[in-house]
Amino acid sequence: MRINALSSKSYPNGSFANAKAKSDGAPGANPLYATVKISDSVQISTIKKALEELKQVKYLPNDMIYMNAIGVNPPFKDGYEAYRWLLDNNIEILYADFSNKNVHACLNYDPQAGTAIFINSNYKDDCTHADVLAISEAIFHECGHGKDFDSENSIQEELDCLSLNVLAHRFYEKKYPDVFKNHDSFLFSQGVSLYPKLFYDFHLTGLKDRVADKYGYLQSGGEKHCASKIALSIKQKYKNTTAV
């Protein structure tokens, strides 16, 4: 894992054109362009703190059972496994300017330069405890995408990776009561605080609507993320809303 240096050798001009990046954005976010920023000491410290939090994440009792019951398969069994994955694969974590400001984070899968996780530079100066936790959730999500070592994405893969955010968020809420209270910026309201509500929503209607809206254009499933009933129904929902 490399979090403290921008390697100009790996990233000429610090610029990426990610036609196949898993951009976590709305339709139109692809291709996502990202320009890496050199992190200062505060930003490096924020990411280090986020990783310290991530490695302690354990899922609450029954949460994994619940995820499996709704057709979602979290790619890691806990935060420590993702932390190890980052270390073992020398994954770089950097802030970057994104062409789509609504994207929280993305994975840059590059077999030559190495896989990197980019966090929206809009969040580069956010360093409260809640921010650190939110960034750790974003990193966890991107680890889920990165674990496959491919550039393929699907509705099912998004659901599987979103579940990581949710599982970590619920753990943090329990570990640090009220830590997310009064945090309603975009990162929270449209990200880390939103999905736990949607995943635990009755009938999952809100989750299906949201995922259809953001990721419905993707294939329902892939080789490593077999489409479950929920992914198929989201794809159908997307088709229904886009049919003329």
Dist CA 196 CA 21 (whole Å)? 25
Q: Which of 45, 102 has the CB closer to Zn ion? A: 102
Q: Which of 4, 99 has the CB closer to Zn ion? A: 99
Least spacing, CB of residue 207 vs Zn ion, in Å:
14
- Which residue has its beta carbon closest to Zn ion? 24
Token pair of 88 as six digits = 């073992």
Q: Which of 7, 95 has the CB closer to Zn ion? A: 95
Long-range contact list for 214-217, CB < 8 A, 24+ apart?
214/25, 214/26, 214/27, 214/158, 215/155, 215/158, 216/27, 216/155, 216/241, 216/242, 217/27
Q: Work out the widest C-alpha separation in the chain, in whole angstroms.
A: 52
Least spacing, CB of residue 162 vs Zn ion, in Å:
7
Q: Which residues bind Zn ion (CB under 5 A)?
A: 24, 158, 161
Q: Which of 7, 219 has the CB closer to Zn ion? A: 219
Dist CA 218 CA 121 (whole Å)? 26
Least spacing, CB of residue 158 vs Zn ion, in Å:
5
Least spacing, CB of residue 161 vs Zn ion, in Å:
5
Bridge-based pairing of strands 116-120 and 92-98 is parallel
